[in-house]
Amino acid sequence: MLTCSLNFAHKSLFNNLHPYGKVLSMEKDINWHFLETNSALTYLDTSSQDGLSLVRAQERLAHYGINELIERRGRFPLQILWEHASAPMVLILLASAVIAGFLGEYRNTILILITFTIYVLIGFAQEYRAEKTVAALKKTSTLNVRVLRDAESKEVPARELVPGDIVQLETGNLIPADLRLLESVNLRIQEAILTGESEPIEKHTAALSGDNLPLRDRRNMAFMGTIVTQGRGLAMVIATGMQTELGKIADLIQQVQQEQTPLKRRLNRLGKNLAGSALGISALLFIFSILQNDDLHYALLAAVNVAVAIVPASLPVVITITLAFGAQRMFEREALIRKLPAADTLGSVTVICSDKTGTLTENKMTVAVLDVGDHALNLTEEMERGGSIRATRGLGSPAQSSLSLAAIGGALCNDAQLLDIGDDRYHTIGDPTEGALVVAAAKMGYWKSSLDLSFPRAAELPFDSERKRMTTVHHLGQYDPDALAGLEIGDRRYIAFSTGSIDGLLDVASHIWMNGNAQALDADSRSRIEAVNARLIKKGMRVRGVAFRLLDTIPEIIQTDLEQNLTFVGLFGMIDPPRKEVKDAIVACLAAGIRPVMITSDHPMTAIEIARQLGIAENGRALRGSEIESLSFDELKNVIDDVDIFARVMPEHKMKIVQALQAKGHIVAMTGDSVNDAPALRRADVGVAMGITGADVSKEAADMVLLDDSFATIVAAIKEARTISDNIRRFVNFSVAGNIGKVLVMLFALFAGKSTSLFIVQLLWLNFITDGLLGLGIGVEGPERGVMKHKPSSVNENIFGRHVIWLGVLIGILALGLGWWYYAPNRSEWQTMIFTSLAFMQVFHALALHSTKDILSNPLLTGMALLVVVLQMMVMYIPALANFFNILPLKWYDLFVAISLGLVVFAVIRKEKRV
């Protein structure tokens, strides 16, 4: 047996991925699920009784390679570091540092290099983390597998499995490779890690037919990483390592190239524009200085000063901290941001592709309708009216007898367990459909634990896919007569209950329970039952019927004699209901110009019904996975904007959906929880994994993890993301406007002899206290009013607006005017006045950018503004600092003049916001 615990299923998929592994060819074109078991055994030259010989197994291991996944080597850390060090804005800083060093300005060189280092390291740290998308596939666990070798059962390491090995399977086993089943005894395997569906799949050994069968329909196969939840079996290994379905996904994850985020594209454009401006203006200033007969030292220093003034050195730091603060706010709303840029990208999302089960719905199968021959009960409406449906026990005969009989039968012919967690909430253990039946019975006052004591199980006939029903036999010696009121039990000792598909029960039923009596099942009754069944199915419900039979003795041949002459009682209509909070979230999405799209592996009718209830799609059209398979990429792209529901979709189809939407210019958020979802999550602009039900691999590939698995959390995160985007845009506008003002001030030197208006150390200080400290405060501004009432911003939209230029010119003109006013009469503090006025203008500029009318609504920004004022005062009035920064202490009235210019900037910006 496998020695791996069931708990490892989602935490470790298989042995180490290794970078130097070797994969040789396998018979990849064989459709193993189409082959009979004997043909499959013959093809791989093996035997279900003897297995492979040790010699043959070693030969195949040498040929096929070790059964483990291979990791392709990604970009080296130095390569990522070089990409950031060679960015245009960074190169401008580096060139400035080199020129300053060449001129002997060593202090300036050190200061610029410190800025350069911070800029590069922060960018490197962000991207290096993003390279770790297959980290979860590297988690290890030592698996041992029981196989047949030389006709003996042996335990061998799973990494030594080869095609043709015969593997024994038991409950709790983690499937170690892709297998073709040879024997199956009540075998059920949970394949959520591949398909995303949590309900275990019943397995068999018969050959299948049909084109393009999805993994979930290959019921004679077992796949690496899935879990045996029930029964036992014998299987033949048909693929190992990278040739398994899991290996193909691992390979696909590593092939998928992520597109640049909208934020990175905008910042790259900004960087190139600013770098080009810095080079152009510095070159013109240098040429002008030479033409003015200035010496080379002065001309180069002036050019360096302008370059430093233009480059927003604090930009990466402030943006990173803004994203981090935003990510923290999202975490408080149950959204964990794994990759910081996603905190901004979410704000540009135009389409959310969401799984249905667990994200739009509760992931809890619930009985919505109980229909018996003489009464139909809508359990959902009863719960909404009174919070409980125990009152239905007071309906009286005959309706009560029918409802009670159906509820009791559904709970007894059932292997699920029920726990009451209070407040009319229940937790079930076992099959979700069976769990829904025991919950419905409990809500009507019939607890399974009590029923099991009153009606002890005497025999059972398990469910199978051919009969499509299950039957249990119970003693009648200890039962409560009120529970089976209306039944003429007499001396009978047993009662058998059967549950299953409606057609499966009608095939063996001779009577129907009507008006508290068993009546012959005639054509009219049968037609009514079939009509109710069809109606419930059309509403997207899963339907299960219940029937009973009174017995004197248990038949000797239970397989053939038990399920005869049953009395049909009623139908249960079950559905996974929508989450209560999701409908409002959908409304908020639509108001924000975001299109919600449902993706599910469920039946189209179920998908359409849930979508209708949530208001996702008006046309009720669903595109099936098989249709996606048959469409070319261009054909899919042409219809993608007209389809809001995708049903019977396998995880591999998600990649096509993402690519088609992106080809139409959409920014796509995609949810997923299985390993098979990981490539699509990585390809999407924002991959969203499920924190509760999601596999580790999907979480590693995702940008964001929903801690509560709810669609509403995505919408709440988008609101925070739009606020983050607004704050980043607000900071960039603030920084660029200030830098334009500084560049204009630097140009003043052309008209001031050989003096320089601002030194490099002063420019770096201004960048630190304004772009740095004030930028941090700007980064935590609250949301603008109506932030979710407008369409997402375009990815091609410029990150700063037109008003930035005139605002920068205003700051520059005010500082220049003040400097000239003090310079003209030869007042020595003219440089200090420019330096100080720029600081105060940016302080008031930042305060004017509040998203609300209350300028004190952002405590961090207010605190940073006060800190900047204190630091500026210290620089001016502490002699050592004043000497370091080459400035003079100002008299109180000079200081008042500098502050007054800040007030002018504040008044102009607030006036513009009002307009």
Active-site residue list:
355
If DSSP codes are grouped into helix, strand and coil, which group holds residue 30? coil
Burial class (CB in 10 A: 0-12, 13-18, 19+), 477: exposed
DSSP letter (8 states) at residue 455: S
- Secondary structure of 579-629 as H, E, C letters: CCCHHHHHHHHHHCCCEEEEECCCCHHHHHHHHHHHCCCCCCCEEEHHHHH
**Number of helices and strands in the chain (H, E):** 33, 26
Tokens representing residue 631 in the block: 């469409």
CA-based radius of gyration for the chain: 36
Nearest to 488 by CA among 513, 517, 509, 519: 517
Name residue, tokens 């189409």: 34
Amino acid sitting at position 154: K
Helix spans in 25-105 (H): 37-43, 54-64, 77-85, 88-102
* Strands (DSSP E) found in 605-699: 622-624, 645-647, 668-672, 686-690
Q: From residue 584, give the alpha-carbon distance in Å to each of 167, 580, 613, 618, 704.
A: 50, 8, 11, 16, 22
Distance between CA atoms of 120 and 117, rounded to whole angstroms?
5
Among positive and negative, which fits the CA dihedral 833, 838, 839, 842?
positive
Distance between CA atoms of 214 and 649, rounded to whole angstroms?
9
Distance between CA atoms of 416 and 436, rounded to whole angstroms?
9
Rounded to 5 degrees, what angle do the CA atoms 240, 242, 248 make? Answer: 120
Q: Are 236 and 48 in contact (CB under 8 A)?
A: yes
Torsion of CA 265, 266, 267, 269, to 10 degrees: 90
Distance between CA atoms of 460 and 506, rounded to whole angstroms?
19
Helix spans in 145-239 (H): 192-195
Report DSSP letters for 724-777, one per residue. HHHHHHHHHHHHHHHHHHHHHHHHGGGGSTT--SS-HHHHHHHIIIIIIIIHHH
Tokens representing residue 893 in the block: 């009235």
Task: Give the largest CA-CA distance in the chain.
Answer: 123
Among positive and negative, which fits the CA dihedral 167, 170, 174, 179?
positive
Distance between CA atoms of 869 and 840, rounded to whole angstroms?
8
Q: From residue 99, give the alpha-carbon distance in Å to each of 84, 285, 301, 305, 312.
A: 21, 15, 8, 11, 19
Distance between CA atoms of 9 and 225, rounded to whole angstroms?
6
Q: Are 371 and 364 in contact (CB under 8 A)?
A: no
If DSSP codes are grouped into helix, strand and coil, which group holds residue 27? coil
Tokens representing residue 462 in the block: 């398990």
Distance between CA atoms of 518 and 501, rounded to whole angstroms?
20
Cα 138 to chain centroid distance, Å, stands at: 20
Torsion of CA 269, 275, 277, 280, to 10 degrees: -140
> Which residues does residue 425 pair with via DSSP β-bridges, in sequence order?
422
